[in-house]
A and B are shown apart, each in its own frame.
Chain A
């Protein structure tokens, strides 16, 4: 057993423990990346939106346990009948149904009323008030509570989908770049097949055949994009890594295939896969919202479900007077999906040296 002695004799043993050096290097790399990330204003905007939504998701259970009465504010089974004061106007002259009521409907409740009086009406959806900052939905549930509750679902969905995508994509990409041959051909043809068929139709067909819940959807999206486009992109990155001299050096030093892939190839592919994680979150959030909007998912509350509820109760095109039914949910999907995308683009400039500004 003279080999270890030789190695220790050739290289002066570092005084610090190895993990501390690694940690320091990682920290330095992170600081460098962070400083160039901060210099990109778009990335910071994206990140702050994500943090804002993260805070909302965290605040919801706290609010439910302290301030909000679950019987009223529960996002799924809560109910409240807030009373709004409405002005009585002549028949067929209602311009804003949220603050006005026509004479005919008012007289159904009290035949003595006349035009110009006010009437206290308890109806759904109710306007935003102090109790319900974003009003209530057509079933009398608090919109703000729904919005915050759905944020958590969106995060869970996005992160699970992204982790699955990146796990599969990185492994498949690295393995097929490293081994080549039949393994490569098989995985790449599979990827071709998956990117051939558009995402949404596949999900629609599958959701007709199976009953989907949130986590199933997340894993499915992860698998589809992990074996599909992400695998192709990460494979090309892994290819360029696997011909680098340090791979040969590691091989000469006696590293096995698995050691080479998992210790040398994958760590160098990871920055790029981290980037695709961001795009995968975007995909997952918007697919979930779309599928829920179309009424194909078996979940009880999400941003898509909120819009679906407004749609199925017939408030879709009266969105100017009932803005709180559509705008918060639609805006949230757009903002959160968009901000992950923006962060991804900002990271692209760090990870991809070709795009970096000189």
Chain B
């Protein structure tokens, strides 16, 4: 299993190198360079422009420049942003990557869980009324013109019902009297840390209890663990980080609506696919056997059918990941959520090329990591791969 994971990561690294090379040469293929921007300035003589080119590493053969670029990339030197001059690109990315990761991660998990559960139930009640309606609703969420849909969500939930703020990362008025010991990013990083630790321990607990023979005890352990861990996190925030708590709640408040909107987009596809794959599984002979054994229909649905229906859904998750990352760009733009997508777009509109390349590369890295995680999850779910090695 470890061998497989190692091989997968090595492959991804190669793919990433190819990607970076392609991006670099796409940029290199553009006519002219940055020193040409001063062509019309009479104060800058050709000598000065040559100096500029030299200082910015624009002299030498393309191969030399390429190697130089790769070397800089490896050391985290992504250049200086034009639009936020003189801020280094890396500095901007460092601030914004966690925000995108959080949005993407929560939305993916939410859409996958809700889509899978509802698809499962829908397949089970096949032939009842409203079947076509469900397909239409699923297709609607999948093909709706997304910016428009996000606007409708803002209009409904933040303007009409006033449930959530209508965008932005935080409410500035609440942050005016913030103590000087921390800033928004450190609060947000702590929130992410809490969520990540909580998620990982809960996952570990789940995997651990799956291996136990006694189902009832396992179930009790899982529920006890969930309550204990969440309670611990809450207490920790109330006591140790209590100064930051109101600010964290403010950021959390801003995070809810974009997450739900993005999750709704991904949810339709997962639901339809789960339903189709469940329907196929339900025709298998072992389902008939399970029925003949007299198992309850909930056990058949959740333990015999859904487990096997999960495999094709996980495979297609790779495609829906790309879909969600693309949707994330629009979500961030419409909700003014300052993440990678919004950075990419505003950089593209201002032709801030170092920032474009930087944020584009990091979106690709996000996609790459997500693919690896899905592959590993698939390997865990499919015993043919897990046991085969």
With A198-B323, A319-B155, A341-B139 as known contacts, state yes or no: A286 contacts B145, CB within 8 Å. yes
- Looking at A199, A208, A289, A337, the one whose CB has the most chain B CB atoms below 10 A away is A208
Tell me which of A286, A293, A345 contacts B135 (CB under 8 A).
A345
CA–CA, A295 and B140, complex, Å: 24
Residue B39 at the chain A interface, CB threshold 8 Å: no
Nearest to A192 among chain B residues (CB) is B15
- Interface locus among A92-100, A125-133, A267-275, A326-334: A326-334
CA–CA, A284 and B43, complex, Å: 47
Closest CB in chain A relative to B353 CB, distance in Å: 8
Q: Please report whether the interface of chain B is mostly helix, strand, loop or mixed according to DSSP.
A: helix
Tell me which of A206, A330, A345 contacts B148 (CB under 8 A).
A330
CA–CA, A341 and B135, complex, Å: 11
Residue A342 at the chain B interface, CB threshold 8 Å: yes
Please determine whether B344 and A326 come into contact, CB atoms closer than 8 angstroms: no
Q: Which residues of B contact A320 (CB under 8 A)?
A: 155
CA–CA, A41 and B368, complex, Å: 40
Closest CB in chain A relative to B111 CB, distance in Å: 16
Please determine whether A209 and B30 come into contact, CB atoms closer than 8 angstroms: yes
Nearest to B154 among chain A residues (CB) is A317
Tell me which of B19, B136, B142, B151 contacts A197 (CB under 8 A).
B19
Please determine whether B367 and A197 come into contact, CB atoms closer than 8 angstroms: yes
Interface 0/1 of A204-225, CB less than 8 Å to B: 1111110000000000000000
Nearest to A202 among chain B residues (CB) is B360
Residue B24 at the chain A interface, CB threshold 8 Å: no
- Interface locus among B172-180, B235-243, B326-334: B326-334
Place the interface of chain B in its size category: 35 or more
- Looking at A195, A290, A326, the one whose CB has the most chain B CB atoms below 10 A away is A290
CA–CA, A342 and B133, complex, Å: 12
Q: Which residues of A contact B142 (CB under 8 A)?
A: 341
Q: Which of B124-145 contact A (CB under 8 A)?
A: 132, 135-136, 139-140, 142-145
What total of A-B pairs shows CB separation below 8 Å? Answer: 128
Residue A115 at the chain B interface, CB threshold 8 Å: no
Residue A249 at the chain B interface, CB threshold 8 Å: no
With A198-B326, A207-B348, A296-B349 as known contacts, state yes or no: A193 contacts B19, CB within 8 Å. yes
Residue B364 at the chain A interface, CB threshold 8 Å: yes
Place the interface of chain A in its size category: 35 or more
Please determine whether A198 and B322 come into contact, CB atoms closer than 8 angstroms: yes
Residue A201 at the chain B interface, CB threshold 8 Å: yes
Please determine whether A334 and B143 come into contact, CB atoms closer than 8 angstroms: yes
Please determine whether A200 and B276 come into contact, CB atoms closer than 8 angstroms: no
With A193-B19, A286-B146, A338-B143 as known contacts, state yes or no: A295 contacts B151, CB within 8 Å. no
Please determine whether A317 and B143 come into contact, CB atoms closer than 8 angstroms: no
Residue A231 at the chain B interface, CB threshold 8 Å: no
Residue A229 at the chain B interface, CB threshold 8 Å: yes
Please determine whether B363 and A334 come into contact, CB atoms closer than 8 angstroms: no
Additional A-B contact list (10), CB under 8 Å, known A198-B322, A204-B344, A294-B349: A189-B15, A195-B319, A199-B326, A205-B344, A205-B360, A209-B27, A293-B147, A320-B155, A334-B144, A334-B149
Chain A interface residues toward B at CB < 8 A: 41-42, 45, 189, 192-193, 195-201, 204-209, 229, 282, 286, 289-290, 293-296, 303, 307, 316-317, 319-320, 326, 329-330, 333-334, 337-338, 341-342, 345, 354-355
